[in-house]
Amino acid sequence: MRILILGGDGYLGWPTAMHLAAQGHEVIAVDSYLRRQLCREVKVAPLYEVPELDKRCAIWHSLGGGKIAYQIGDLTEWEVIAGVFRDFGPQAVVHYAEQPAAPYSMLNRQAATLTLRNNLLVTANVIFAVKEFSPQAHLVKLGTMGEYGTPNIDIEEGWLEVEHKGRHQKFLYPRQAGSLYHTTKIMDTDLLWFYVRMWNLRVTDLMQGPVYGIFTAETGNDERLLPFFNYDEIFGTVLNRFVVQAVAGYPLTVFGKGGQTRGFLNIKDTLNCIRLAVENPADKGELRIFNQFTETFSVNELADKVKAVGTDFGLNVEIQHVENPRIEAEEHYYNPNHTGLMELGLKPHYLDDKTLAKMLQFAMNYRDSIARDQIYRQVKWA
């Protein structure tokens, strides 16, 4: 298929481009370098240098990976996205092109406004471009499990059957986000559901949990092909942060009581979930929702795992409970359903000691590059 990847320079976008190209699909990756720009503005950097998209595509091609086309452009601008759709004629669209960090969205008014403007306008432009130029295309949108919040009932896979006063209706599962970033994801889902009904689009919305990991089958032994690996509080995901903190001799920063529980997945499983969704498209007029994670952990459980494996490496790993800068439940019920992707054939990579050991060993190669002042900024939700 001809697959358009929006946000193709990001932590997930670039590995997805390689993975789908390796499967024989024709791929174009589009990005505005927003993540790189925001990292510079808040003075954080990934653990290692990451080549820009043109260089990554050239490296991939030189190593026999085939061609990944690319374009740098701001997808909030209609002329940019319309041009890409007109020229490429995608049969599937993978939409990652959003400001990706909850802490960034809570920094200040300017960060909040940027998050709202970028995320909602890009999603709207994607929907209009599909309608105008590729009405048969399947749109695969990356949502987040954070849309659901932490309700005191089981979390269904996107939809909830309700009986009320003798009548029955199927609704989108109630959302209650914990940050502005997650709120924009809820708005994305609402936009998609509206236009699926109005225009008979075919859409898969993937409610993804926090991702961890560095390596995929396509990166091989060439570190120039690795994805972004942020370890700061703003753009780094929790397990990636803990791994670098352990290597740096920085106490693992557990927010509050540490009972916050989420659904996690290995970056390899993200790629397989995207591929399965793309290769098994939703029907016309369907908003198909999958909960995209493989296992649940509390923050305390993750910290304990990193401490145990780090100790085997001779690291002195301490766990420190710090004041929670976020407004969230620190102990709660959490039981989300996640059968849809398994039924499509997902074979999960579970978090074991070997996986953690490989991440720690890799991070140790870059110990001298770790900037301790980036690790914990105490970005306060209030």
Q: What is the pLDDT of residue 75?
A: 98
Is residue 33 in a domain? yes
> CA nearest 213: which of 104, 357, 317, 17?
357
Sequence-distant (6+) residues with CB within 8 A of 350 are 266, 294, 295
Domain contains 299: yes
What's the rounded Cα separation, in Å, for the pair 313 and 280? 42
In a domain, 382, yes or no: no
Q: Do residues 376 and 253 lie in contact, with contact meaning Cβ atoms separated by under 8 Å?
A: yes
Give every residue of the chain whose pLDDT is below 50, as ranges: none
Place of tokens 């753009």: 235
Decide: 219 and 225 in contact? Cβ < 8 Å: yes
Structural tokens at position 262: 């989420």
Out of 96, 115, 185, 189, the active site residue is 185
For the chain, how many structural domains are there in total? 1
Catalytic, 144? Answer yes
Q: How far is CA 9 from CA 98, 326, 343, in A?
A: 11, 28, 30
Cβ–Cβ under 8 Å, residues 282 and 204:
yes
For β-strands 261-266 and 295-298, DSSP reports them as: antiparallel
Which pLDDT score, from 0 to 100, does residue 151 have?
A: 98
Structural domain for 142, as ranges: 2-374
CA distance 247 to 338: 33
Catalytic residue (one of 11, 104, 148, 181): 181
8-27 pLDDT, tens per residue?
A: 999 999 999 999 999 999 99
Cβ-based neighbours of 257, under 8 Å, separated by 6 or more: 300, 321, 330, 331
The pLDDT of residue 331 is 97
What is the crossing angle of helices 109-133 and 180-199, to 10°? 20
**What is d(CA 123, CA 105) in angstroms, rounded to the nearest whole number?**
17
Report strand pairing: 211-212 vs 261-266: parallel
The structure tokens listed for 100 are: 């990706």
pLDDT in the model for residue 221: 87
Cβ pair 306, 356 in contact under 8 A: yes
The structure's pTM equals 0.97
Q: Which candidate in 16, 123, 144, 261 is catalytic?
A: 144
In a domain, 381, yes or no: no
**CATH code at 69?**
3.40.50.720
Per-residue three-class SS string for the chain: CEEEEECCCCCCHHHHHHHHHHCCCEEEEEECCHHHHHHHHCCCCCCCCCCCHHHHHHHHHHCCCCCEEEEECCCCCHHHHHHHHHHHCCCEEEECCCCCCHHHHCCCHHHHHHHHHHHHHHHHHHHHHHHHHCCCCEEEEEEEHHHCCCCCCCECCCEEEEEECCEEEEEECCCCCCCHHHHHHHHHHHHHHHHHHHHCCEEEEEEECCEECCCCCCCCCCHHHCCCCCCCCCCCCHHHHHHHHHHHCCCEEEECCCCCEEEEEEHHHHHHHHHHHHHCCCCCCEEEEEEECCEEEEHHHHHHHHHHHHHHCCCCCCEEEECCCCCCCCCCCCCECCCHHHHHCCCCCCCCHHHHHHHHHHHHCCHHHCCHHHCCCCCCCC
Long-range contacts of 376-380 (CB under 8 A, 24+ apart): 376/233, 376/250, 376/253, 376/322, 377/103, 377/232, 377/233, 377/234, 378/233, 378/323, 378/325, 379/103, 379/106, 379/107, 379/233, 379/234, 379/325, 380/106, 380/325
Residue 380 is assigned to a structural domain of this protein:
no
Say which residue the tokens 């995901």 belong to: 237
379 domain-assigned: no
